[in-house]
Structure 1
Amino acid sequence: MHTRSLRRAPLALALLCAVAGASLTACKPGDDAAPKAAAAPASVPAAAGVGIDLAGIDKSVQPGDDFYAYANGTWQKTTEIPADRASTGVFYTVFEKAEKRLADLVQSLQKQQPAPGTDARRIADYYAAYMDEAGIEARGLAPLQPTLDAVAAINDGKALSAYLGSTLRADVDPINATNYYTENLLGLFVAAGLDAPEKNVGYLLQGGLGMPDREYYLSADKDMAKTRDAYKAYIAALLKQAGDTDAEKKAQAIFDLEMKIAKAQASVVDTQDIHKANNPWPTAEFAARAPGIDWPAFFEAAQLAGQPTLVAWQPDAIKKLSALVASQPLQTWKDYLRFHAISHNASLLPKAYADLRFGFYGTQLSGATQQRDRWKRALAATDGALGDAIGQLYVKQYFPATSKARVEAMVSNILAAFRDGVDQLAWMSPATKTLAKQKAETMKVGVGYPDTWRDYSALEVKADDPLGNALRAAKAEYAHQLAKLGKTPDRGEWWMTPQTVNAVNLPLQNAMNFPAAILEAPFFDPAADDAANYGAIGAVIGHEISHGFDNLGAEFDAQGRLHNWWTPEDAAHFKAASERLVKQYDAYEALPGLHINGQQTLGENIADVAGLQAAYVAYHKALGGKPAPVIDGLTGDQRFFLAFAQAWREKQRDAALRAQVVGNEHAPGQWRALTVRNIDAWYQTFGVKDGQKLYLAPEARVKIW
């Protein structure tokens, strides 16, 4: 869940029983129903901590017709999206709390004037440099000039290949990516090998686009066509601002090159197919396998010449991108690289450049009408460069040991619900059950913060060099990743900082991270009762556990090895259930004519269904056999499901919604909340009947695990 959504990486859990259709083995009656209380529970006043936004509920809507609108309708009608945001919702609420805390921490360091060479001083100086708008204006393009000169000096294919290699950077995890794209032609991801997880290897990834996804270039949708026109105008305007002649002509050539790059790229769905990614290529064979790039020059410049093998994650795309390096005019490549150097760094250049970039990426692509305050952008940039250094300060001040212990207990309960559920699966073979439970038992769970912290002592930060700081931070991250090549993977390594409002499952490590910043109300509220906490953060925890067993996670064993540990019969059952969920989400229309892609979002939808069911079972076990209290007229089960739906409340601008549907592996929150229609207990809790819009017959409810 990168920034706003749960993993992938961004990124199904074995439950009590599995039913994917009439032809599959059905659960025994009552297997996932709510336990019956021996006596009616007593009513408890609201002061006990309901954990639900009662005012946000719209009781004019029937839960069985639109549960999202029932749980969030009044909130949806009365909430305005901030002018500087593409969306708002629970994630934004929790993010704002973390942002305010980070601001207090960072700004207090500036007042303290920490000693030179300390992380505290690096944080203070990075932030101060970003905030120095007068200095940025005065320096103009000068800080970027060495980069622009390097582009101008490219005089042949070998030099072009070397430049592309020299600018190779550490890239996002393709398994956990959210809105994955990179303006560099290729990216490097370092992680455990798919076949041999005892050693880290390098994965080469496709890139090269200035817009979020290949569909922005290829789609026939009229809104996408308008965005393409706006992008060409942005390219021309930025080049003109930088003093280029023939800016419109160059912009067209750059756009045409990116169109070819888009056609060369693999789709999101293909990129998610781990078997298509498992392509170890000896570096000596890249020239023969993907002719076009001068690979020896590329690898030398990228500091990869000593690597015997790299994995081509999207092999066909890498072949086609390499061919484009040789076939397209050298001057077009130079113009393309010049544009992207300016565009990528525009926020650290004079205001005219930053405003042009915001006009396209902020307004056109996301619908935001106002730039975020400078201090917020400075804070985000500092956090991106020195995340672990800030994280140590954050958890010391804002994450109490009591919260860590309580969340760890919830994780333990939900994992136990998973393991118990495996034993009750009628359709799964004993051999597969044994391996599934082994994987669950060996999952490494990180709550709050990592055991070890990043060392930033080699990173030079200057209070008067914001662009230089950013460039050096990117190189430092690349060096950090290179240093892991060939080493034994650290299963305890975190891929998020503690102050990140997110959570992630890492299939290559068989591990999960739950950062401190997401463990806040309304996801997790120490003052709320268990029903709300299990419905909100419990479902998040269940979601991440479930990713170890979704359509991707089920491909990895307990050691993080790409290994088929299913019997053919079990695999067939899983596939049939998955296909039912694909069709369910294919039917949802996010915008007129734009449907959610059920295959693209399958892993997340599996994790939502399985995770919610696991959290529900764990919640009832946490009651210890006692009836749940009624609080403000809501039963425990009602609070549980309402907390889940309210955790996914979200209001997006159309441009942002379109971007998510086209290129993201998560369905928008409004439709994630409808996961409840696959949970039997929800029907009993809210009296949902046949004929209501969300009603699914018992045999049509998807139960992956």
Structure 2
Amino acid sequence: MKISSLSLALAAALGLGLARADDQPLRQLPYTPSLDVSAMDRSVDPCEDLYQYACGGWMKNNPIPADEARWGVYSKVANENRLYLWGVLQELAQPAATARSAQQQQLGDYFGACMNEQAVNEAGLKPLKPLLERIDALRHKRDLPALLAALHLLLDNERAFFRFASGQDFNDATQVIAFVSAGGLGLPERDLYLKNDARSRKLRAEYQAHVARSLARAGAAAEQAQRQARSVLAFETELARATLSPVQRRDPYKLSNRLSFEQLQALTAGFDWAAYRSALGVEQALPVLNVTEPRFIKRWAALLQQTDLATLKTLLRWQVLSSQAEFLDAGWQAEQFGFYGKTLQGVPAQKARWKRCVELVDAQLGEALGQEFVARNFSPELKERVIKMTDQIKAAMARRIEALDWMSPATKARAQEKLASMVNKVGYPDNWRDYSAFQVRRDDFLGNLQRGNAFELKRQLAKIGKPLDRGEWGMTPQTVNAYYNAQMNDINFPAAVLQPPLYDAKLDDAPSYGNTGGTIGHELIHGFDDEGRQFDAQGRLKDWWTTQDTKAFERRAACVSKQYGQYTVIDQLKINSQLTLGEDLADLGGLVLALEAWKEQIKGLTLENRDGLTPEQRFFVGFAQWDCSHARPEYARLHAATDPHSPGRYRINGVAVNMPEFAQAFACKPGQKMVKKDAERCRVW
């Protein structure tokens, strides 16, 4: 639908930034079937490459957009959702023609302020002046706790050295305690600071140049900015040496470190945590905290003592600038995107402003926007159908646990208890979040952003010392994703991931069970993967396995790890299968459960072939098409170092090759690439 001349006039009058000519807001979500025959490449033998057979046409017809690092079915659906939400927010941002709730007014005002690009460009660096002046005014290190508290409230990210928030106690998942987590790094992965290969050295040089340009843009003389950038890189490198790797962070026991307030203070001599806590506004007692990386926090405190005040002020100035640059004028945005978009991920073009504004509304007023999405797109009937599918998959898991020949009766009983306790959340939360304390102004974009950060951090901090709210969600309803929370012991499926082409009520069940069923199974298996299995039915970090059963599980998991470790991401770079193990296990176990649930669903039915595919083939093609995707080389390398998910091709082929039902469905023959001997197949659940 094209924007009318009236809409253009209104946008100009309101100062709303206009999108590129090929972007148009949607008034309803588009429909793509969950099995899209046009996405296939039938010239390929599925027994040689299921992924290419199911997705070859999709990749040909869906080149990576200029503003994306990776493009896949999920990202395309997410973009269509953004287009739709753009239409909703654009309407709410216009002068009200009809009655509008206070929450809808918040949404419209936030979006309108964000889209007022002229005002943002005219403001330049001015909105950050109060924070930068406060940093410049720092005279003693003893004043650092109060300053960091102010930065954490307004910026709400771990760029300012560390993150202080709340979380479930690893020992008692019913309670919420304070959490201190590592931060302070401008590069996305610690090894980028430490590796000495040519690519890493070049990347660090480009990062240092970016830091120098940013500091110069903020007012430093060119030579001074170069010296300061070297100091920034040196300090961050020392922090990186004390930071856990992505693989190490997958071990919950490494992150579970309960300390008393006094122990934390002793660990970080010279930094006054009482002053920090007071400035942050935390009134609750803090008898115990969880410090996810004690080695990091100890090293950080030592560096504070060793570093002169001028360098600390440079570091703080850089942290403010780097965390806020994308929200400033066009020059700052271009500088930030040049490094983090182009250099790190190979993305040629920055996202249109409307996309970034929709994403910000989602991030800061997510459940308010979610109510608008759900009311228009998620029916009670759809929710019931998905709940039925989830119940079938849980029942399949219960049967498989009972039938395992490698697990003892004692561990089976604990596994069944955990499965029975697992909560299924579908669509949206039962109780919506209240944003009435979040002040939104139509003429203050960066102020809205900072007040939104403060609102959320205060909301998180208010939980400390209180019983857990098990009804809370960690994703908004309009998010195209799903997740398992080990401490909550719940599986969560937002409304947006239950729309075509992911879940398709218009087609036969086979592709939806392969696609959404596989996703449901995937999240359920996370409760029993190499990380999730370490939490019990109540979400406590507690070993409920016998020693023999642990060894049996680890042998089976090692088969999966060995298989995926042989796959090439790009050039000679292999998958880090220690990093991806949990997701690989969930992919495999999830589809096994989905197939069993589908067979239960169609029991007694006579199914016909469709589109030249048998029902069984439709199940596997539907599964494969959930992750039709491709990525830029730079992103692929970064993804391999930081993301626990394997590339799409291996998330599909790596699963199917272990399932004899796939080979049977396509009449594959021994010796073909997608066929393993029975003894070579990886089996866990």
TM over 0.5: yes
Measured in 1, the distance between the counterparts of 2:282 and 2:531 equals 29
Segment drifting more, 465-474 vs 230-239: 230-239
| 1:357, distance to aligned residue in structure 2 (A) | 0.8
* Map of 2:22 onto structure 1: none
Match of 1:196 in 2: 172
Of 40, 53, 74, the residue aligned with 2:57 is: 74
The superposition leaves residues 185-207 of structure 1 with CA deviations (integer Å, 9 ceiling, x where unpaired) of 11134232111122111221111
CA distance in 1 between counterparts of 2:79 and 2:279 reads 41
Aligned partner of 2:601 among 587, 608, 622 = 622
What secondary structure does 2:247 align onto? helix
| Separation in 2, partners of 1:182, 1:215 | 18
Where does residue 337 of structure 1 map in the other structure?
Answer: 316
1:439 aligned to which of 418, 429, 436: 418
- When structure 1 is superposed on structure 2, of 57-66 and 108-117 the one drifting more is 108-117
Aligned to 1:697: 677
Q: What are the ranges of 5 or more consecutive residues in structure 2 without an aligned counterpart?
A: 1-31
Who is 2:112 aligned against? 128
Tell me, in whole angstroms, the C-alpha distance in 1 between the residues paired with 2:577 and 2:660.
22
1:236 aligned partner, one-letter code: A
What one-letter code is carried by the residue in structure 2 that aligns with 1:86?
A
Distance 2:416 2:130 in 1: 55
What secondary structure sits across from 1:370 in the alignment? Answer: coil
> 203, 206, 211: which one pairs with 2:182?
206
Change (3 A) 1:170 1:451: farther
State the partner residue of 1:461.
Answer: 440
Amino acid at match of 1:288: A
Partner of 1:447, secondary structure, is strand
CA contact (8 A) 1:167 1:302 kept: no
Q: What corresponds to 2:193 in structure 1?
A: 217
Q: Please state if 1:686 is matched with 2:666.
A: yes
Contact 2:670 2:676 in 1 (8 A): yes
Aligned to 2:20: none
In structure 1, the residue corresponding to 2:527 is in which secondary structure? helix
Deviations, residues 92-115 of structure 1 (Å, cap 9, x unaligned): 221122112211211111225387
From the superposition, tell whether residues 285 and 539 of structure 1 become closer, same or farther in structure 2 (CA, over 3 Å): same
- Map 1:100-179 → 2, pairs under 5 A: 100-113=83-96, 118-168=102-152
Aligned to 1:533: 512
Q: Which residue does the alignment assign to 1:232?
A: 208
CA contact 2:154–2:450 (8 Å) conserved in 1: no
The question of whether the paired residues in 2 share the 8 Å contact of 1:444 and 1:492 is answered with no
Contact 1:170 / 1:481 at 8 angstroms: preserved in 2? no
* Residue aligning to 2:29: none
* Contact residue 33 and residue 504 of structure 2 kept, 8 A: no
* Structure 1 pair 589–221 and aligned structure 2 pair: CA distance change class (3 A): farther
Q: Does 1:548 align with 2:527?
A: yes
Structure 2 distance, partners of 1:564, 1:331, is 48
* Residue equivalent to 2:365: 386
What amino acid maps onto 2:87 in structure 1? Answer: D
Within 1, Cα distance between the matches of 2:179 and 2:614? 50
In 1, Cα distance between equivalents of 2:345 and 2:79: 19
Q: How far off is 1:304 after superposition?
A: 4.4
Q: What is the rounded CA distance, in whole Å, between the counterparts of 1:142 and 1:120 in structure 2?
A: 29
Structure 1: tracts of 5 or more residues without a match: 1-48, 173-180
Q: Distance in 1 between matches of 2:160 and 2:672?
A: 49
CA root-mean-square deviation: 1.9
1:297 aligns with 2:281: no
Report deviation, 1:170.
11
- Counterparts of 2:303 and 2:146, CA distance in 1: 15
Q: Structure 2 CA distance, aligned partners of 1:503 and 1:170?
A: 29
Secondary structure of residue in 2 paired with 1:84: coil
Q: Please tell me the residue identity of whatever aligns with 2:679.
A: E
- Alignment deviations for residues 564-617 of structure 1 (CA, whole Å, 9 cap, x no partner): 111111111111111111111111110112111111111111111100100000
Higher RCO by CA contacts (8 Å cutoff, separation 6 or greater): 1
1:662 maps onto 2:641 in alignment: yes
Following the alignment from structure 2 to structure 1, what is the Cα–Cα distance between the partners of residues 383 and 445?
36
Using a 3 Å threshold, how does the CA distance of structure 1 residues 292 and 650 change in structure 2: closer, same or farther?
farther
- C-alpha offsets along residues 306-339 of structure 1, whole Å, 9 cap, x if unaligned? 3111111122222222222222232222112112
Checking the alignment, whether the CA contact within 8 Å between 2:73 and 2:626 is kept in structure 1 is yes
- Contact 1:170–1:187 under 8 Å retained in 2: no
1:203-282 equivalences in 2 (<5 Å): 203-245=179-221, 246-282=224-260
What is the deviation of 1:538? 0.6
Q: How many residues align structurally?
A: 649
- Asked whether the 8 Å contact 1:171–1:188 carries over to 2, the reply is no
Check whether the contact 1:88–1:650 (CA below 8 A) recurs between aligned residues.
yes
> 2:629 aligned with 1:650, yes or no?
yes
> Are 1:575 and 2:559 an aligned pair?
no
Conserved 8 A contact 2:38-2:57: yes
CA distance in 1, matches of 2:82, 2:497: 12
Q: What SS is found at the alignment partner of 2:479?
A: coil
Q: 1:568 to 1:625 in 2, by over 3 A?
A: farther
TM-score, normalised on structure 1?
Answer: 0.89
Q: Secondary structure at the match of 1:210?
A: coil
AA of the residue aligned to 2:609: V
**Cross-structure match for 1:315:** 294
> Which residue of 251, 265, 270 maps to 1:287?
265
CA drift at 1:482: 0.7
How many angstroms does 1:660 deviate by?
1.1
For 1:372 and 1:381, locate their aligned partners in 2 and report how far apart those are by CA, in whole Å: 13
Cα distance in 1 for partners of 2:373, 2:473 equals 16
With normalisation by structure 2, the TM-score equals 0.91
User: C-alpha separation between the residues in 1 aligned to 2:201 and 2:674?
Assistant: 35
Q: Deviations over 1:320-366 (max 9, x none)?
A: 22222222232222112112212211122111111111111111122
CA contact under 8 A between 1:188 and 1:205: conserved in structure 2? yes
Q: C-alpha displacement at 1:50, in angstroms?
A: 7.4
